[in-house]
Amino acid sequence: MRDIKLFNSLGNKMETFHPIKEGEVSFYVCGPTVYNDPHIGNFRPVIVFDAWRRLFLRLGYKVTFVSNYTDVDDKIINRAKELGISESELTNSVIKSFAGLVDAVGSMQPDITPRPTVYMDEMITYIGDLVDNGTAYKADNGDVYFKVESVEGYGELSGNTPEALNAGARIEVKDGKKSPLDFALWKKTEEGIKWNTPWSAGRPGWHTECCVMINSIFKDQGGLIDIHGGGFDLKFPHHENEIAQSKAHNHNHLANYWIHNGFINIDNEKMSKSLGNVILAKDVVAQYGGMPFRLMVLNTHYRAPLTFTDKTIVEAQTNYAKILNALKTVEIKLQLHDINPLECKGDEENEFFDALCDDLNTPNAISVLYAEIKAMNQLLRTKDIDYGALSLSYGRIRDYLDTLGIGIKPVVLQGEDKALYIAYDEAKKNKDFATSDQIRQQLIDRGLF
């Protein structure tokens, strides 16, 4: 297999990927808290980590891809109350919509989509283990907190040190919480869904959910996975706190490689509710299409900030249409010469895969894609077309698009379609322009011209 270089946030350096199990990849990406319609920022990791997943699959790895739906949270409780429905009704509805958008942007559904409500027994046991080994404690108010000072190296993922965090802490220590850095593993709650425990009736803290689900799903690996992914905003405190718990419970860093994607900005400003510039994913998909949005996202390196503007999304829409038209023309040409486009194959040893294996450099990979499309178009313009070369070029492009997850539905000619093309070419050859124009319109009506 090819070497894959990736930027590991744990250590802030490029590393060569080495899996825990030869030929396999265990992958976990933090999913959404399902209380409302997702915005486009929620879908950058959906697209980015799907591209990572597709690369590993293309190179022959067996990938177990897990992404959770957080279905218990204060936001869910409050939103369900506002709507006058149960929390499960709300979360099931949002999950259904989210999954539909995952399809729309060309991403594969996760192999496993765990929900905290399903893993509650495991969470209570996990928290109990931390209390028993002295790295967590029950507070006076019934909450359970993780004792940050109990693990060495806290802050190694984000670069925050306990000393610096304590110096700037403004959190009042009360209700039995021993340090402003300590974070909740269990929260006593008065309303909404709750579970009974030795500490109180309540629900788990957000930082604990992913740890427990990873520990449960990948128990045969000691709760250690290859790659943990998510947005840059999760680096601290969420992922930092996950590592702390895993070190206390399993004596590992939860994942060997931590990958974080950058933010999506709107017209060079941070997207936020306070600025009123939040754009919903469903609106972008409805107006511009899921594939153009995916192309726009992948045209920026995943670790860099991505700016969403009318210009960038329209440009992506235009480029996607050009890709469609270029492939359609070639698909028709190949089939008219009895070549099945779906049997055309590319090759792995080229600059496209060099780019993707270098920390998923999708902008460079897309540049190779466009160069190949240009070369394919040049082949079409030659007097005597080399159909062997055309087939290879087409196969490469389809391979590139499949690896990027940019969906293209191939044109399939029926017998009548071929007869029309033959008649069209014959009419043009005989300069019977009235007939050729008439046939051309028929082909246009069929979406074949």
Q: Can you give the pLDDT at residue 172?
A: 59
pLDDT given for residue 345 in this prediction: 86
Q: Distance between CA atoms of 155 and 44, rounded to whole angstroms?
A: 25
Distance from C-alpha of 410 to C-alpha of 318, rounded to nearest angstrom: 19
Residue 25: its H or E element: strand 24-29
Ranges of residues in the chain whose predicted pLDDT is under 50:
none
The pLDDT of residue 173 is 62
Task: Note the pLDDT of residue 43.
Answer: 98
Q: What is the pTM of this model?
A: 0.94
Q: What pLDDT is attached to residue 123?
A: 98
Going by C-beta distance under 8 Å and a sequence separation of 6 or more, which residues neighbour residue 358?
A: 5, 364
What local confidence, expressed as pLDDT, does residue 165 receive? 78
Say what the pLDDT of residue 191 is.
Answer: 87
The pLDDT assigned to 108 comes to 98
Instruction: Give the Cα separation of 103 and 109 in Å (integer).
Output: 7
Structure tokens at 51: 């591209």
Position 174 scores a pLDDT of 67
Q: What is the pLDDT of residue 171?
A: 52
Question: DSSP readout, 186-203?
Answer: EEE-SSSS-EE-SS-EEE
Instruction: Tell me how far apart the alpha carbons of residues 13 and 407 are, in angstroms, rounded to a whole number.
Output: 33
Distances (CA, A) of 348 to 1, 234, 247, 352: 11, 34, 39, 8
